[in-house]
Amino acid sequence: MNVDELSVATFNLYNLNLPGGPMYQDTDGWSSEEYAAKVAWSARMLRELAPDVLGVQELWHADALAEVVTQAGMDEDYELLASPATGDRIVCAALVRRDLLVPGSARWIEDFPEDLRLTSSGEDPQTPEIEVGIRGFSRPVLRFEIAPREDEPVIAVYVCHLKSKAPTQIWREGWYNAERERYKPHTTAIGAALSTIRRTAEAAALRVLLTAETKGTVTPAIVLGDVNDGQHSNTLNILTEQPRYLVGESRGGGDIALYTAQTLQQYRDTRDVYYTHVYQDLRESLDHVLVSEQFYDHSYRRRWLFDGLVIDNDHLNTEDHRADGTADHGVVTVRFRHDPA
């Protein structure tokens, strides 16, 4: 099989679980009516977008995503990668065209790689030492492979969901309750710092995995996910290694670099209106498609040419996602065309 066009997308499902399944502190979960609305809306999105690869986040139960595929009438089209989604936690998952997936390649990565060590005695005498003891992803990262062409290397695909910006709820901690009046005024600041530290550590861990995958190899890589941070954030800088985007006749490409589809699209647009999430009237880009140099237009080693990005985000204007079944994140779809440099 040799396909000439490849489309990938990332979709935060907004806690897709079977009706009545508990989610976090919500012990009742979705009602039958709310669940039906979620499945119907998600199925319509899948049917309209029909990407070759769809990475999803906030899936609680694999059967719920299977019902979305069935309602979309696409059972024969997709392989469902969601085996850890049994209803008791949220996981990353994927839908992959059956003729693209490399059989047996899917695995979920829970532990940080051993090569990641977040300790330092300080850069100078006035810098205190630091040690971060996080050893695993809060949402396991899904890795699998696709083979769209027989004359090209297989593509490694990662689906991730990094820690949100929401402050960590420290009111459950023993140290907090032991001195509640002392810490209560600082709950938000401490919680936000903990969330940032966790997300940063997760980004570094994923970066180590990606470097091991791409350094000194010709393996193309795609990262699909809700990274809960913006295009120029430190989170994205860690993941991408901050490559230069060359224009005109210049040629380049970084061996381990990742390129944001958002930036690739901005080179084609006269105005940037990219946003995938709205919180307190702030529009942000939290959901990203990142690609290796094999998908970057100006790379010597380009195999696929960027062919456009579309964001479906009109549903973010709705007042009640629970009532109408919509998600609280935009859906990002990116298309490529086989066109080696």
Other residues' Cβ atoms within 10 Å of the Cβ of residue 106: 20
Confidence (pLDDT) at 70: 98
Give me the amino acid identity at 167.
Answer: P
Model pLDDT for residues 297-322, shown as the tens digit of each residue: 888 899 999 999 998 877 777 778 88
Residue 9 pLDDT exceeds 90: yes
Taking the C-alpha atoms of residue 285 and residue 275, their distance in angstroms, rounded to an integer, is 4
Is residue 52 within 8 A of residue 148, CB to CB? The reply is yes
Name which residue leads in pLDDT, 142 or 328.
Answer: 142
Residue 220 pLDDT exceeds 90: yes
Residue 205 pLDDT exceeds 80: yes
Residue 329 pLDDT exceeds 60: yes
Stretch 201-221: mean pLDDT: 96
- 3-state secondary structure at position 175: helix
What does each C-alpha distance from 92 to 29, 83, 299, 325 come to in angstroms? 19, 10, 30, 20
Reference 48, options 40, 60, 56; nearest CA is 40
Stretch 38-52: mean pLDDT: 96
Residue 217 pLDDT exceeds 90: yes
**Token pair recorded at residue 233:** 């954030």
Confidence (pLDDT) at 273: 63
CATH of domain 5-104+145-162+223-338: 3.60.10.10
Reference 153, options 104, 224, 217, 215; nearest CA is 217
Give me the amino acid identity at 152.
Answer: E
Confidence (pLDDT) at 318: 78
Confidence (pLDDT) at 157: 98
Look up tokens 């609305």; give the residue: 37
**Token pair recorded at residue 100:** 């693209």
Confidence (pLDDT) at 244: 79
Average pLDDT score, the chain: 91
What does each C-alpha distance from 295 to 154, 223, 271 come to in angstroms? 13, 12, 23
Q: DSSP labels for 222-269? A: EEEEE-SS-TTSHHHHHHH-------TT--B--SS--EEHHHHHHTT-
Residue-range domain boundaries for the chain: 5-104+145-162+223-338
Residue 250 pLDDT exceeds 90: no
Q: Provide the whole-model pTM.
A: 0.94
Model pLDDT for residues 143-190, shown as the tens digit of each residue: 999 999 999 999 999 999 999 989 999 999 999 999 999 999 999 999
